[in-house]
Amino acid sequence: MRNNVSITTKMMDHMKSAGRLAGKVAIVTGASSGIGEATAKLFAEEGAQVVVGARRAAELNHLVDEIEACGGKAVALPGDVCDEAYARALVHLAETTFGGLDIAFNNAGTIGGMGPTIEVSAASFVETVTTNLVAAFLGAKCQLPAMLRRGAGSLIFTSSIAGHTVGFPGVASYSASKSGLIGLTQSLAAEFGPRNIRVNAILPGAVDTPMYRQMNATAEAQGFIANLHALKRVSSPEELARAVLYLASDDASFMTGAAMIVDGGTSINRT
């Protein structure tokens, strides 16, 4: 039994040292569920030390427990990504706990302001844009100086196919905010590329998250959404996490300013 435990420990240590993110420190927001949770776990599996952020403290603490149970390293800080002080606190935690910051996945967001556009209030529009776009800007603003201190970095945003090539009725606030993230990605990539910081965005289609299931509670609704994709299904959070891992890793060392479509063919589906 002792030999088996020793072998398992050695294997886990080897995996961490040989992982694609070995020695890296990452921040993941929106980590309490869905894409953020799956990405935080995958980053840890690949050797990164992870700071996870979201509003829900209990879910974050559970995530940290799961990561540590598998031999990874993670710390949690609950808070509101729309608060610049919170964005600074996440970076401070990364630097004081793990020694720096190499990767930031600004993933937190909302699908707010839905419905006929003429019925959406200005307050609702502003709230959606603030959560999806302004918060990402604040995160990047605080993360970039830490990456500059490291001499390199990878910033990743979660945009959406709804902000790029596919227009859906009744989601003007969401689409506007996600389109803005693409512009933010490209501008930061141009500004910080000469300083060895890459900035990219992923553009998912529908993803099977708790939020997705809440919004599409019936089999009929889920079937309709799945049929919008050329693959005739929605993505799992783990599939999106693998795309984020690629952008975070040195495998994407020559990619910056990219709006990487990971949408199951929503943007090309005509049936």
pLDDT score at 13: 53
3-state DSSP of the chain: CHHHHHHHHHHHHHHHHHCCCCCCEEEEECCCCHHHHHHHHHHHHCCCEEEEEECCHHHHHHHHHHHHHCCCEEEEEECCCCCHHHHHHHHHHHHHHHCCCCEEEECCCCCCCCCCHHHCCHHHHHHHHHHHHHHHHHHHHHHHHHHHHHCCEEEEEECCHHHCCCCCCCCHHHHHHHHHHHHHHHHHHHHHHHHCEEEEEEEECCECCHHHHHHCCCHHHHHHHHHCCCCCCCECHHHHHHHHHHHHCHHHCCCCCCEEEECCCCCCCCC
Q: Please give the average per-residue pLDDT across 172-201, as a whole number.
A: 97
Give the domain extent around 136: 2-262
Give the predicted TM-score (pTM) of the model: 0.91
**214 in a structural domain:** yes
Percent of the chain with pLDDT over 90: 76
Residues 195-250 have pLDDT tens digits of: 999 999 999 998 988 888 777 878 888 888 899 899 999 999 999 999 999 999 99
pLDDT at 165 over 80: no
pLDDT score at 95: 98
86 is catalytic: no
Residues 52-74 have pLDDT tens digits of: 999 999 999 999 999 999 999 99
**269 in a structural domain:** no
**257 in a structural domain:** yes
**162 in a structural domain:** yes
Domain count, the chain: 1
Residues 87-140 have pLDDT tens digits of: 999 999 999 999 999 999 999 998 877 889 999 999 999 999 999 999 999 999
pLDDT score at 220: 87
CATH code where residue 256 lies: 3.40.50.720
**268 in a structural domain:** no
Catalytic residue among 86, 174, 212, 246: 174
pLDDT score at 222: 87
Average pLDDT over the chain, rounded to whole?
91
**230 in a structural domain:** yes
